[in-house]
Amino acid sequence: MTDVKEVLSVSVERIMEMIPHRYPMLLVDRLVELVPDSYAIGLKNVTYNEPQFQGHFPSSPVMPGVLIIEAMAQTSALLVVHTLGADAEGKLVYFMTIDGARFRRPIVPGDTMLVRVDKLRNRTNVWKFACQVRVDDVLAAEAIVGAMIMDK
């Protein structure tokens, strides 16, 4: 059986219905592609006016690695919620593990992050994903993340 690809353009308003994150911690601007129970691709436009760049680093701004990983986690959460359906909307998805994190190139204001998450497995409410972030089709970061979906 072949997965049917859903090409999406999910707005930030819809994303905020699916996960509880809000600015400045909402790090997915749009979902651009998704196959339920398989993979999702989220988009994050990195802009200079984001609060982290006031201190990281003002004269040479670089997206903090923890926020890159958070964008991976949020994209993963969106895949989980879409896969599980409306009953999962607004639930919390907690990090459990981050393995093999690698940062291959700096991400700076003006870059567009394409965050791809591929489901590796899930058991009940525990999920694991292989994640990659690309900028201009160049691998910028990668990690394996584990998460648990919970009621509020």
Query: Tell me, what DSSP letter sits at residue 25?
Result: S
The answer to whether residues 43 and 113 touch, using CB atoms and an 8 Å cutoff, is yes
Categorize the per-residue pLDDT at 26 as very low, low, confident or very high, splitting at 50, 70 and 90: very high
Residue from 81, 101, 87 nearest 142 by CA: 101
Question: What domains, with CATH codes, occur in the chain?
Answer: 12-150 (3.10.129.10)
Return d(Cα 5, Cα 133) in angstroms, integer.
20
Average pLDDT of every residue of the chain: 93
For the stretch 91-134, pLDDT in tens is: 888 999 999 999 999 999 999 999 999 999 999 899 999 999 99
Lowest mean pLDDT among 3-7, 63-67, 70-74, 81-85: 3-7
Q: Provide the token pair at 1.
A: 């059986």
- What's the distance, Cα to Cα, between the start and end of the chain in Å? 35
Q: Can you give the pLDDT at residue 86?
A: 87
Q: Can you give the pLDDT at residue 21?
A: 94
Catalytic residue among 8, 20, 36, 56: 56
pTM score, whole prediction = 0.94
Count of CA atoms in the C-beta half-sphere (13 A) of 52: 19
Residue 56 annotated among the catalytic residues of the structure: yes
